[in-house]
Amino acid sequence: MIYEIKKYGSDVLRDKAKDVEKIDDEIKEILDNMVETMYETKGVGLAAPQVGIGKRMFVCDKGDGVVRKVINPKITPLTDDLAECEEGCLSVPGIYKKVRRPEKIKIEYTNIDGESVVEELDDFLAIIMQHENDHLDGVLFVDRVSPIAKRMISRKLQAMKRETRKTEQVEE
């Protein structure tokens, strides 16, 4: 099943997501649907809040066909060095801006089989994981761009927010 992606202006994108307590069939199905939705929309990552589900989990594939289903992640930077990368987001369509993030991280999470996984990453996947993890705390990449870039996109974001609010009201 393909989920509808929540867009900038939707409240669920700003909420702090809750820990996944138990990996049951429902959680597995949601994660499967998220993977399907990620591929359908040509994304490299998708977090549960982006499809309106306030749980701490995301899926990603940096482009090599290896899917990760990440549950209750915890990220620790392993360096003060920052990597700058142009980012976009399925929830903020049409906007691409540079963001600086720690270039090397450790991520600890639970996989779909309930096993603890620890990975140290310093490639594109490290950037994706940090971007997706932000979603679980209600943070969007546009919050992390430079002040100049922020000014450049502020009108577009305001318009997007108005549009989202309007659409969500109609749906209610």
Active site residues: 132
- CB of residue 16 vs Zn ion: minimum separation in angstroms? 16
What is the token pair recorded at 143? 């919050």
C-beta nearest to Zn ion: residue: 89
What is the token pair recorded at 74? 């915890």
Q: How many residues bind Zn ion (CB under 5 A)?
A: 1
89 contributes a contact to Zn ion by CB under 5 A = yes
- CB of residue 38 vs Zn ion: minimum separation in angstroms? 11
Q: Which amino acid does the sequence have at 69?
A: K
- CB of residue 155 vs Zn ion: minimum separation in angstroms? 20
129 contributes a contact to Zn ion by CB under 5 A = no
With contacts defined by CB under 5 A, name the span among 56-64, 88-96, 144-152, 154-162 that binds Zn ion. 88-96
Residue 92 or 121 with smaller CB distance to Zn ion = 92
- CB of residue 114 vs Zn ion: minimum separation in angstroms? 26
Bridge pairing between strands 116-121 and 82-87: unpaired
Question: In the Cβ-directed half-sphere of 100, how many Cα atoms lie within 13 Å?
Answer: 7
27 contributes a contact to Zn ion by CB under 5 A = no
160 contributes a contact to Zn ion by CB under 5 A = no
d(CA 136, CA 116): 19
Phi, psi of 57 (to 5 degrees): -160, 150
Phi, psi of 100 (to 5 degrees): -105, 130
Q: Which of 4, 3, 66, 5 is nearest to 30 (CA)?
A: 3
Residues that bind Zn ion (CB under 5 A): 89
